[in-house]
Amino acid sequence: MKKIVFIKSCICLISLFIMAMAGCQNSSSKLIDESAKAFVAGNIKSAKSYVEQSINANPQDEKSYFRLASISMNTDYDNPEVISANLKKIEIVDTNYIGLLQKSFSFLTAYTWCEGRLMSDKSDAKDKIANEIAMIDDAIKRNPNNPKLFYSRAIWHYLLMQDENAINDLNMAVHIKQDFVQAYLMRCNIYCNLAAYGKDGRKIEYFNRSLYDCKKLKALNYDIKEIIYKLVECISSKMRSVDNENKLFDEAYMADTTITFALENKAGNEEHNTHDYEAACRDYSILYKKHPEKLSFLINMGKLKIKMGSIEEGMKDLKSAIGKTKDREIVESAQRAIERYYKKNEKKNDVSTSRSNSRSEKFQINQSSRNDRRKISRRDGVLDK
């Protein structure tokens, strides 16, 4: 009898738990619907309040966190760390998204390469993001001049690997708000990624578009150093097949001449790959004037001058580098270059001396041979008589 009562009690508790969960889900769904209405109407505070209530009612409801991310993209558009943190909350609730949402968004705002995005075959994710995009679509219809809405939708498109849609939205965002730094930055990074991994026929086009946004960001007083690093890395490791590689380095350098990373790569490329020593020497000279503390530029100039035949000037640069520092590595580098020249010269002299001696010996042998023939011919003449 007691067992029967216990079983009934358990069944009752389980039923109550299921009902409670169902109630939470219904309550959460209603709150999410209300948040969408508030968002479309432009009442972002109310939309956020509904989402927070939904999370309290059902902390495991993924839809709530997707909606929270959409709201964050709108309210915290100038604070990528907050958006990234909200995307990470989705990953915490569902581990299927780990390393896809938050990292992919971070790529758009920092000097990193995209490690992966939301796989398009994740139908559940597509559906949830489709709901967010549909909500933002309705909001844009009511308020087509809100650049933050286009920016928010661009992020979702990008996370679904829909780059063209993302770029179109970012184009609208910067058209409406011409000083929209985060939109330029996101578009710049997408173009750079396409220059690295896109179709070969459009790589230069994407690179130039990325460079255009880079210049826009500089005009808006944004520190573009990290972007320049990324563009140069793109040229060095992803666009090696491009004929006018040095021209691209030049363009990246001209975007901000205070950042010499691009010119350093160009000079190295001219020295080691295209063997245009004169151009490389010219670029190292510019670099040394900008950074006189970097004696490696002066040493490289000296080495190249020696290669081009300006021995005296090259030696002067190398000895000057030795006299300007006590850094053992720099001193040894310059000394090795000097020793290498002298050893090479000694070998040339040895070869030249050897050849000269060889010629002299041959001459002596030939001369001796001729003298011997004369003696024999005279003797034969005497005998004939």
317, 301 in Cβ contact below 8 A?
yes
- pLDDT for res 94: 78
Contacts of 59 (CB under 8 A, 6+ apart): none
pLDDT the model gives residue 385? 39
Say yes or no to pLDDT of 310 above 70.
yes
* Per-residue pLDDT reduced to its tens digit, 92-110: 887 777 666 777 777 776 6
Measured at the CA of 168, the angle between CA 167 and CA 171, to 5 degrees, comes to: 85
Compute the chain's Rg from CA coordinates.
Answer: 37
Q: Which residues, 6+ apart, have CB-to-CB distance to 272 below 8 Å?
A: none
Comparing 197-201, 276-280, 341-345, the range with the smallest average pLDDT is 197-201
Each residue of 95-152: pLDDT tens digit? 777 666 777 777 776 655 555 565 545 557 788 889 999 999 999 999 999 999 999 9
Q: How far apart are CA 326 and CA 4, in angstroms?
A: 91
Looking at residue 171, what is its pLDDT?
Answer: 98
C-alpha–C-alpha distance, residues 299 and 320, integer Å: 9
Which region among 12-16, 49-53, 246-250 has the lowest average model confidence (pLDDT)?
Answer: 12-16
Q: Share the mean pLDDT of the chain.
A: 82
pLDDT band at 342 (very low <50, low <70, confident <90, very high): confident
The crossing angle, in degrees rounded to 10, of helices 203-219 and 181-197 is 160
What DSSP string describes 336-361? HHHHHHHHHHHHHHHHHHHHHHHHHH
Number of residues in the chain: 385
Mean pLDDT of 151-156: 95
Residues in contact with 269: Cβ distance below 8 Å, sequence separation at least 6, in sequence order? 245, 246, 249
The token pair at 294 is 């970097």
User: 14-18, 94-98, 238-242: lowest mean pLDDT where?
Assistant: 14-18
Query: Which band of pLDDT confidence, cut at 50, 70 and 90, is reported for residue 21?
Result: very low
* Structure confidence at residue 324 (pLDDT): 92
Question: Could you tell me the fold of the domain covering 28-178?
Answer: 1.25.40
Determine what percent of the chain is predicted with pLDDT higher than 70. 77
